Amino acid sequence: MAKLNEGLMLRVNLTNQEVTEEEISKELIKEYLGGRGLASKILYDEIDPKVDPLSPDNKLIFATGLLTGTSASTGGRYMVVTKGPLTGTIASSNSGGFFGAELKFTGYDLIILEGKADSPVYLSIVDGQVELKDATDVWGKTVPETTDYLQQQVGDEKAKVSCIGPAGENQVLFAAIMNEKNRAAGRTGVGAVMGSKNLKAVVVRANEKKVEYDKQALIEVVKKHTKILKEDGVTGEGLPALGTKVLDNIINENGIYPTRNFQEGTFADVAEVSGEALVEKGYLKSNKACYACPISCGRDTKLPNGRSGEGPEYESGWSFGADCGVNDLNAITEANFMCNELGLDTISAGATIAAAMELYEKDYIEQEELEDGPELKFGSSEAIVYYTKAMAYREGFGDQLAEGSYRLAENKGYLEASMSVKKQELPAYDPRGVQGQGLNYATSNRGGCHVRGYMISPEVLGVPEKLDPQELKGKPEWVKIFQDLTAVIDSIGMCLFTSFALQAEDYRDLVNVAAGFDLSVEELLAAGDRIYNLERLFNLDAGIDPQEDTLPKRLLEEPLPDGPHQGSVAKLDQLLPNYYTERGWDEEGIPTAEKLTELNLK
């Protein structure tokens, strides 16, 4: 039975099939907490940051959070950490569902996967037995097919499966790792790394819950937090009612709903594809919750033809919808289902198609290149479905799409069409109308990302207080705090959505009671700061130039043409120097020796 302040990791060498166990020190857990933080520390220590992400020398780490598998609200999340092939940065993708908790129940906090198997394999951790098994029979199969087959193979339908689909096998640069068929460690291409190692899946099933903590003491804290979450307008009302797609109309009304590859900021047909439409058109079957989650924002959905699955979430619906100019909810939902089944990041998949549509309409892509594929025109329902499958299998023009929008646009000689940061596609908020969110995009350690410091919360939703989205003063401080707190939440294994209602003090109480620590709020946030700086050091050593802390040219130079923020651009040049100062970095964006000493990183 493992205590939360003591860790155990499993090291699996896929090349020679050696499996060993190693203890994790209490000091390391206290400094990095678990999950994203601890796995990033291990990756930084063990690989050359300049390694080719798809080579055997890269490592892939599955990491549970400090509180994963406990009674902490939403305490079921896990991270996949590696060097990302889409960006070349450190990559960490977060997923929910039940896989993370089941992994923790086996007694392992982390799995470090090294080398490359000679042929397809899967890792089985079932009833205390750790084995690498032949996966030849499931290589080429979809995520649902793989999940069902491997549950049958281990003889337990309650076993949790995390796997790749054809996209990961074909090393699509934004391939996801999927668990329980529809939950995704979606961004940065972690699925491509898994595919490069000939690893099809990880299957976990515990015969007992090997997690030791003061359950009675923790449940008293959890009761308090559950009440807060249930009474909050976002976590207790908006997300349970409409899921993340509660945002469609809100973001559109604020004029920051990127449309037709960020050429506009509002979508006239938003009512046809919103969260409300998902309900009114009969697509929604029921809510769905992850492990220990009182919010229940997941969506079990069904198409008119009877085909069922989960989603689309807000980002997924936007990327295939407004970003591609498509108002067909049926096609959007179908493309989303396909991403889950084939193992694709829905944001990068839809946004790459949107970039291709702009390239096509501006004559940078000729119809001949598409062979028998449909025209890549904005508004084409046929195109989003057809090219989603084509990119997963790298068929025809899908082979070029599988490289992501940056490489596609660069190859066509019109880089302006790629709405990306550090080669990763931006999600569904136009930074010309939310200045803090733009700064967060530019400085995210894993490329274009909204959930590393979700400034939409104060700038649009007014949580924890309402900020003027165009105000620059104070935004660097806000962004740093949000980024550091997010690093903490990712590392302890809770869902970021809890931060709509909970405060830093609440996370401190959970950590201290469960792990027996005595951290102050300042020390807890310092752990987030340490994690963020460690990731920055990895990226610098990998050759990521600080000049890549920027936004696409369009967002810096072309004013929003419509909506409440018409005429505005992202004012990154005014925000970035102050952000560097706030971070304790020099004017070039390099952490100073003093900062590294302060964080025990020197």
Residue 345 lies in a domain: yes
DSSP 384-452: HHHHHHHHHHT-TTHHHHTT-HHHHHHHHT-GGG--EETTEE--S--TTS-HHHHHHHHH-TTSS-STT
pLDDT at 418 over 90: yes
Q: Say whether both 411 and 545 belong to one domain.
A: no
Q: Say whether both 414 and 459 belong to one domain.
A: no
Q: Say whether both 462 and 409 belong to one domain.
A: no
In percent, the amount of the chain with pLDDT more than 70 equals: 100
Query: Mean pLDDT over residues 566-582, rounded?
Result: 98
Q: Say whether both 155 and 264 belong to one domain.
A: no
Domain-terminating residue out of 425, 458, 479: 425
- The count of structural domains within the chain is 3
Q: Say whether both 406 and 450 belong to one domain.
A: no
Could you tell me the CATH number of the domain that includes residue 81?
3.60.9.10
pLDDT at 1 over 60: no
pLDDT at 585 over 60: yes
Amino acid symbol at 284: L
Instruction: List Cβ neighbours of 121 (8 Å cut-off, separation of 6 or more).
Output: 14, 132, 133, 134, 135, 198, 199, 200
What pTM was computed for the model? 0.97
Q: Say whether both 69 and 164 belong to one domain.
A: yes
Q: Determine the 3-state secondary structure of 118 from DSSP.
A: coil
pLDDT of residue 3: 73
Task: Report the distance separating Cα 218 and Cα 506, nearest Å.
Answer: 12
Query: What is the tens place of the pLDDT at every residue in 88-123?
Result: 999 999 999 999 999 999 999 999 999 999 999 999
pLDDT at 64 over 80: yes
Q: Say whether both 462 and 495 belong to one domain.
A: yes
Residue 245 lies in a domain: no
Query: What is the tens place of the pLDDT at every residue in 377-408?
Result: 999 999 999 999 999 999 999 999 999 999 99
Residue 483 lies in a domain: yes
Q: Say whether both 409 and 320 belong to one domain.
A: yes
Domain-terminating residue out of 212, 245, 268: 212
Could you tell me the CATH number of the domain that includes residue 352?
1.10.569.10
Residue 42 lies in a domain: yes
Domain-terminating residue out of 401, 425, 449: 425
Q: Say whether both 414 and 465 belong to one domain.
A: no
Say if CB 54 and CB 154 are below 8 A apart: no
pLDDT of residue 208: 86
Q: Say whether both 189 and 46 belong to one domain.
A: yes
Residue 493 lies in a domain: yes
Nearest one of 331, 326, 297 to 314, comparing CA atoms: 297
Say if CB 95 and CB 80 are below 8 A apart: yes
DSSP 339-363: HHHHTB-HHHHHHHHHHHHHHHHTT
- The whole-chain average pLDDT of the chain stands at 97
Query: What is the tens place of the pLDDT at every residue in 5-50?
Result: 789 999 999 999 999 999 999 999 999 999 999 999 999 999 999 9
Q: Say whether both 421 and 453 belong to one domain.
A: no
Paired with 125 in beta bridges are 130, 204
Residue 228 lies in a domain: no
pLDDT at 2 over 80: no
Amino acid symbol at 307: R
**At 149, phi and psi to the nearest 5?**
-65, -45
Could you tell me the CATH number of the domain that includes residue 441?
1.10.599.10
Residue 240 lies in a domain: no
Token couple for 379: 């508004």
Q: Confidence band (pLDDT; 50, 70, 90) for 212?
A: confident
Task: Report the distance separating Cα 567 and Cα 143, nearest Å.
Answer: 45
Residue 561 lies in a domain: yes
Query: What is the tens place of the pLDDT at every residue in 39-63?
Result: 999 999 999 999 999 999 999 999 9
* Residue-number span of the structural domain to which 539 is assigned: 435-598
Q: Say whether both 585 and 540 belong to one domain.
A: yes
The per-residue b/e assignment along 246-274, b for 16 or more CB within 10 angstroms, e otherwise, is: bbbbbbbebbbbbbbbbbbbbbebbeebb
